[in-house]
Amino acid sequence: MSRKNVVVFRTLPPDLLARITERHDVVVADPRRAEERERFLAALSQAQGLIGSSFALDAQTLERAPALEVISSISVGVDNYDLPYLERRGIALCNTPGVLTETTADTLFALILCASRRLVELSNHVREGRWTRNIGEDLFGWDVHGKTLGILGFGRIGQALARRAALGFGMPVLYHDPFEVRVPELSGLVTRLPMDEVLRRADIVALTLPLSEATRGLMGAREFGLMKPGAIFVNGARGGLVQEDALLHALDQGPLRAAALDVFATEPLPLESPLRTHPRVTPLPHIGSATHETRRAMAELATENLLAVLDGEQPHCAVLPRR
């Protein structure tokens, strides 16, 4: 195959970058860095392939890339890309599902444990020298085992979270999804319900659904108001799913006991955000898939997807095929 022009807009392991460089002409430029932004934009004029993540590529930006054939995203979520525009132009969009499922589910269940048992708060209690006697009831947490978990979105990650909850902690699991999902090992352990019923009945509610125009702002004042007194809210999906002012109100004046969040409407989380220092919020810096093993697997899959499309072959994972 003839050599093509590829723009790498997120750091790749050296051996994977070398795989691409052996077969194609490569420009490495991270547009999130001010000093590299102009180089990235200039390289788009000749780009036939893009590989990277964590940067929004809208129609106006992609108009600069008239020869573009494929975007290979090192992510599962594709909300950073203008899907109707890509489809109109026949540009392939690839992602990396599957390889991060178990790791992200681990993170979500860790958030459930942290919020319910107040682990970060109590760790800081020790670090700050305030553990001078046995703790009293004011610092007790709450059990996770046996509690009802509600999951909004029951794809790969939602199912993996349900396995941890139902099989590992004896938690009844309720889920809401547009489709009935059958998971043999969870037969009889999970129940599909309308979203409002999940919110009303669950002790802990976790979001594992994608961000789209249909789901943006899904959790607002009405939805939080349906949740049980003392409920815990967990979001490891996308920050845009949540109306953050409504979440804060539900923590301060509504039913929520605590929230554990790995994602936010604006990332990194602004210093002035009340969520950063709220005493009943456990915030994380979007680490759902951030392990050495998983990020490596994601980069490998994204590289394979990119090279396959540029060679005229079918990629392993395509959200949009090339036309």
Which of 72, 77, 76, 91 lies closest to 307, judged by CA? Answer: 72
Q: Which residue in the list 22, 38, 63, 267 is annotated as catalytic?
A: 267
Q: Is 286 a catalytic residue?
A: yes
Residues 6+ apart with CB under 8 A from 25: 3, 4, 5, 6
Helices 156-163/101-117 angle, 10° precision: 50
How far, in Å, CA of 240 to CA of 216, rounded? 6
Question: What are the structure tokens assigned to 83, written together?
Answer: 């899907």
Interior/surface letters 12-38, b for 16+ CB within 10 angstroms, e for the rest: beeebbebbeeebebbbbbbeeeebee
On the 0-12 / 13-18 / 19+ scale of CB atoms within 10 A, 278 is middle
How far, in Å, CA of 54 to CA of 30, rounded? 10
Q: How far is CA 141 from CA 8, 171, 302, in A?
A: 46, 17, 41
Question: What are the structure tokens assigned to 228, written together?
Answer: 């049980």
Question: What are the structure tokens assigned to 2, written together?
Answer: 């003839």
How far, in Å, CA of 36 to CA of 34, rounded? 5
Q: Which residue in the list 24, 118, 286, 322 is annotated as catalytic?
A: 286
Q: How far is CA 261 from CA 18, 144, 181, 265, 292, in A?
A: 36, 17, 26, 11, 21
Q: Which residue in the list 238, 300, 304, 322 is annotated as catalytic?
A: 238
Q: Is 238 a catalytic residue?
A: yes
Torsion of Cα atoms, 31 then 34 then 35 then 39, to 10°: 40
Q: Is 64 a catalytic residue?
A: no
- Catalytic residues, which ones? 238, 267, 286
